[in-house]
């Protein structure tokens, strides 16, 4: 059965290669928060499993921010990419929007409340995308059967939809969807009451020249952005935290930042280091980073 974690893993290597190609820099490491482990987990440039505590990550970023001007420094990408399982709908239902006919393609938007934050996944991503200057996108893979993941990943089968384009009157607990009439055309709509939305191919999204996707940040900007993300999440909770400085004190960043967040560290220019293609083996269990044990 296809899951969001499995789909994220399937496209991970191609997205990593895409970032290296677009920015002409080597990816040093990719990290994402894990609330379960209260840590940041991912991979470094040698494809070695990496785990950092909140303190280790924030200290590393603070040290990078203090580098003297002119020294070689890392830059960063930070963004939310929430993968969704897309279903091929062979029949119309009450949730099929007017103007669509079967078959069409549909992914559910999660409006179930999180008991910790009091926000749904969708509301959290909308809040963050609107206040933290960090892009938040739904990733819609056009894969409909588990056998599809044994083929070579193709970014042409991945569409990106900005979360902030969704209607702002959706209520927690309601059922809403992203729908596409065709799997191979860049047109999508929100429904129940349909309204069109922007949709991008992965390559369009990542493009430095015209793409709406993640922008390169220095360490100090990333620290401010992480702080804004946490504050946006805490805004729905009955608590107050120390807000001075670049780092919020007494807050578990890895527990408060949604796990769809990706932090990509980019190092030296690629012309000095020939790029090696990275592929993911899907034949075994999921790595811890993608929801494995």
Residue 14 and residue 44 share a domain: yes
Is the separation of the CB atoms in 76 and 218 below 8 Å? yes
Least confident of 50-59, 60-69, 230-239, 263-272: 230-239
Please tell me the predicted confidence (pLDDT) of residue 282. Answer: 47
Based on the fold, state whether residues 87 and 140 are members of the same structural domain.
Answer: yes
Of 46, 43, 35, the residue nearest 9 (C-alpha): 43
In 66-122, DSSP assigns E strands to 75-83, 87-89, 104-109
User: In terms of domains, do 118 and 75 share one?
Assistant: no
Biggest CA–CA distance in the chain, Å, is 61
Contacts of 138 (CB under 8 A, 6+ apart): 82, 83, 84, 107, 109, 160, 161, 163, 178
Residue ranges making up the domain that contains 182? 81-206
Please state the rounded mean pLDDT for residues 160-166.
95
pLDDT mean over 127-133 = 79
Q: If pLDDT is split at 50, 70 and 90, which confidence band does 117 have?
A: confident
Compute the average pLDDT of residues 242-255. 73
Separation of alpha carbons 5 and 2, rounded Å = 8
Percent of the chain with pLDDT over 70: 84
Indicate if the pLDDT at residue 245 is higher than 70.
no
Residue 261 lies in a domain: yes
One domain, residues 53 and 134? no
User: pLDDT at position 44, please?
Assistant: 72
> Do 198 and 104 fall into the same domain?
yes
Question: Residues 94, 166: one domain?
Answer: yes
Long-range contacts of 14-20 (CB under 8 A, 24+ apart): 14/153, 14/154, 14/155, 14/202, 15/155, 15/202, 15/206, 16/264, 16/278, 17/275, 17/277, 17/278, 18/155, 18/202, 18/203, 18/206, 19/77, 19/206, 19/264, 19/266, 20/266, 20/270, 20/275
Residue 46 has pLDDT above 70, yes or no: no
DSSP letter (8 states) at residue 277: P
pTM of whole model > 0.85? yes
Same-domain status, 48 and 119: no
Question: Torsion over CA of 29, 30, 36 and 39, rounded to 10 degrees?
Answer: 40
Mean pLDDT throughout 250-257?
Answer: 88
CA distance 252 to 260: 16
Asked if residue 211 belongs to a domain, the reply is no
Distance CA 123, CA 37 (A): 24
Q: Between 244 and 223, where is the model more confident?
A: 223
Q: Please choose, from the candidates 66, 81, 79, the residue with its C-alpha nearest in 3D space to the C-alpha of residue 218.
A: 66
CA 32/CA 230 separation, integer angstroms = 14
Pick from 161, 180, 206: which residue ends a domain?
206
71 vs 5 pLDDT, higher one: 5
The last residue of one of the domains, among 206, 229, 263, is 206
User: Which of the listed ranges 85-89, 130-134, 275-279 does the model predict with the highest average pLDDT?
Assistant: 85-89
pLDDT value at 278 more than 90: no
Residues 88 and 177 in one domain: yes
Same-domain status, 9 and 89: no
Residue 212, in any domain of the structure = no
Residue 139 pLDDT exceeds 90: yes
CA angle 74, 34, 219 (to 5 degrees): 20
pLDDT for 172-228, tens place per residue? 889 999 999 999 999 999 987 789 999 999 999 999 877 788 989 999 999 999 999
Instruction: Note whether 56 and 153 are same-domain residues.
Output: no
Q: What pLDDT does residue 271 have?
A: 44
Task: Please confirm whether the linkage preceding 103 is cis (ω < 30° from 0).
Answer: yes
Closest CA to 255 of 123, 116, 79: 116
Task: Determine, yes or no, domain membership for 147.
Answer: yes
- The number of angstroms, rounded, from the C-alpha of 186 to the middle of its chain's C-alpha atoms is 20
- Give the domain-ending residue among 206, 229, 249: 206
Cβ 23 vs Cβ 266: under 8 Å: yes
Give how many domains the chain has, as a whole number.
2
Instruction: Please tell me the predicted confidence (pLDDT) of residue 249.
Output: 75
pLDDT of residue 99: 82
pLDDT at 144 over 80: yes
| 263 and 229 housed in the same domain | yes
**Which pLDDT score is estimated for 54?**
94
What tokens appear for 73 in the block?
């420094």
Mean of pLDDT values over 88-110: 89
Separation CA 278–CA 14 (nearest Å): 8
Question: Which pLDDT does position 132 carry in this prediction?
Answer: 66
């Amino acid at each position: 059965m296809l899951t969001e974690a499995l789909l994220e893993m399937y496209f991970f290597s191609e997205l990593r290669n895409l970032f290296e190609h677009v920015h002409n820099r080597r990816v040093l490491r990719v990290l994402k928060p894990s609330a379960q482990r209260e840590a940041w987990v991912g991979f470094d440039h040698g494809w070695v499993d990496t785990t950092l505590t909140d303190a280790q990550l924030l200290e590393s970023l603070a040290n990078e921010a203090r580098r003297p001007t002119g020294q070689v420094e890392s830059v960063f990408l930070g963004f939310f990419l929430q993968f969704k399982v897309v279903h091929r709908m062979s029949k119309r239902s009450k949730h099929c929007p007017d103007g669509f006919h079967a078959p069409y393609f549909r992914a559910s938007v999660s409006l179930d409340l999180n008991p910790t934050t009091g926000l749904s996944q969708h509301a959290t991503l909308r809040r963050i995308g609107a206040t933290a200057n960090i892009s938040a996108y739904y990733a819609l893979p056009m894969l409909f059967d588990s056998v599809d993941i044994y083929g070579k990943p193709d970014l042409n089968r991945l569409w990106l939809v900005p979360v902030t384009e969704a209607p702002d009157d959706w209520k927690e607990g309601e059922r809403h969807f992203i729908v596409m009439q065709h799997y191979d055309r860049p047109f999508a709509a929100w429904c129940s009451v349909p309204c069109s939305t922007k949709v991008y191919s992965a390559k369009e999204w990542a493009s430095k020249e015209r793409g709406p996707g993640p922008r390169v940040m220095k360490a100090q900007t990333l620290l401010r952005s992480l702080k804004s993300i946490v504050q946006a999440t805490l805004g729905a909770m009955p608590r107050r935290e120390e807000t001075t400085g670049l780092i919020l004190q007494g807050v578990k960043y890895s527990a408060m930042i949604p796990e769809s967040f990706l932090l990509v560290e980019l190092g030296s220019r690629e012309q000095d280091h020939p790029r090696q293609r990275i592929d993911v083996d899907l034949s075994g269990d999921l790595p811890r980073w993608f929801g494995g044990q």
